[in-house]
Amino acid sequence: MELISKMSISECETLRGILFDIDDTFTSGGKILKDAYSALWDLHKAGLFLIPITGRPAGWCDHIARMWPVDGIVGENGAFYFYYNKKEGKLLHRYFFPPEEVAKKKKEIEAIKKEILRKIPRAGIATDQPYRLFDLAIDFSEDVSPLTEREIGQICNVFSKHGARYKISSIHVNGWFGDYDKLTMTRTFIKERLNMDKEEIDRKFLFIGDSPNDEPMFKAFLLSVGVANIKRFAPKMKFLPKYITSANGSLGFAEMARIIIDKTHKKGVENGD
């Protein structure tokens, strides 16, 4: 991983948009710092498409799609995307499958929850669980005392035993039924909303993240960035981002934005614009 300051002007010039994780990438210590939110507006004003890619719940995504300067959001690890249609003045949804399908798995999800809490009593149900449509989020460090790697592994084993898919973020283990993921829904969103094919998407969008559950995105996109706090996971990761920021979390996101905007502006100055 090279420092993001090494990113070339030509790489910045090819960008059509930024895809970004939220927890510990856009946030620091659970907060969106002023630097990051200002940077998001700066990227928006620069004309880049902005799409958060998150494991956070539908309730949060409704707010984000309406209130943030973004073009849409992929939530619950790829179960859906939301976007706000300014022309129609309303929020629109695209689900991988109808939320009603989840009802068929409700008993099994409840059984998984009970088994995890019985076997790993220090684990907790994520406080944002009431706002979720599709998955079960188990908290291992957000609002509970941090669990050990062994305990996190036990959580994953319970999901696996029940045939559920799971992903480990920096704060939660998310488990769900259904053959969907962040990368598939991200490409679906950009293809359907921006009319771009897979090759163009993977070349012209940058992804920035912070943890092992971002590996498929780091692998897929030609331009990828990790905020500095990803270094604690790097020894266990197979696919690393191309670039890394010098700062953690929110400040790393702001650092990335500043470099992209500065280098794009420099190109314009060199061209006499």
User: Tens digits of per-residue pLDDT, 134-170?
Assistant: 999 999 999 999 999 999 999 999 999 999 999 999 8
Alpha carbons 76 and 102: distance in angstroms, whole number: 13
Tell whether the model's pLDDT for residue 268 goes beyond 70.
no
Dihedral pair phi/psi, residue 88, rounded to 5°:
-85, -15
User: Tens digits of per-residue pLDDT, 82-101?
Assistant: 999 988 999 999 999 888 88
pLDDT at 99: 80
CB hemisphere CA count around 114 (13 angstroms): 6
Question: Which of 153, 131, 130, 159 has its CA nearest to residue 140?
Answer: 153
User: Tens digits of per-residue pLDDT, 9-51?
Assistant: 999 999 999 999 999 999 999 999 999 999 999 999 999 999 9
In this structure, what token pair is assigned to residue 11?
């790489």
pLDDT at 104: 81
Tell whether the model's pLDDT for residue 106 goes beyond 90.
no
- Contact predicate 4/244, CB 8 Å: yes
Angle between helices 149-161 and 106-119 (to 10 degrees): 150
pLDDT at 98: 85
- Contact predicate 14/203, CB 8 Å: yes
The residues that bridge with 28 in the sheet, in sequence order, are 31
* 110: CB partners within 8 A, 6+ apart: none
- Contact predicate 120/151, CB 8 Å: yes
pLDDT at 6: 95
Domains of the chain: 99-176 (3.90.1070.10)
Alpha carbons 141 and 156: distance in angstroms, whole number: 15
What is the rounded average pLDDT of the residues 184-193? 96
- Contact predicate 241/220, CB 8 Å: no
For the chain, the 3-state helix, strand and coil shares in percent, each to the nearest 5, are: 45, 20, 35
Q: In the structure, what pLDDT confidence band is assigned to residue 272 with cuts at 50, 70 and 90?
A: very low
Tell whether the model's pLDDT for residue 183 goes beyond 90.
yes
CA 134 to chain centre: 16
Alpha carbons 144 and 121: distance in angstroms, whole number: 11
In the predicted model, what is the mean pLDDT of the chain? 94
Alpha carbons 58 and 75: distance in angstroms, whole number: 6
pLDDT at 266: 55
Alpha carbons 107 and 112: distance in angstroms, whole number: 9
Q: In the structure, what pLDDT confidence band is assigned to residue 102 with cuts at 50, 70 and 90?
A: confident
User: Tens digits of per-residue pLDDT, 127-137?
Assistant: 999 999 999 99
Tell whether the model's pLDDT for residue 57 goes beyond 50.
yes
Question: Which of 24, 1, 25, 23 has its CA nearest to residue 257?
Answer: 25
Angle between helices 34-45 and 249-270 (to 10 degrees): 30
What is the rounded average pLDDT of the residues 218-244? 96
Q: Which amino acid is residue 84, in one-letter code? A: Y
Question: Which of 226, 122, 120, 126 has its CA nearest to residue 175?
Answer: 126
The residues that bridge with 93 in the sheet, in sequence order, are 82
Tell whether the model's pLDDT for residue 271 goes beyond 80.
no
- Contact predicate 222/203, CB 8 Å: yes
pLDDT at 91: 96
Q: How would you write 115-160 as a 3-class SS string?
A: HHHHHCCCCEECCCHHHCCCCEEEECCCCCCCCCHHHHHHHHHHHH
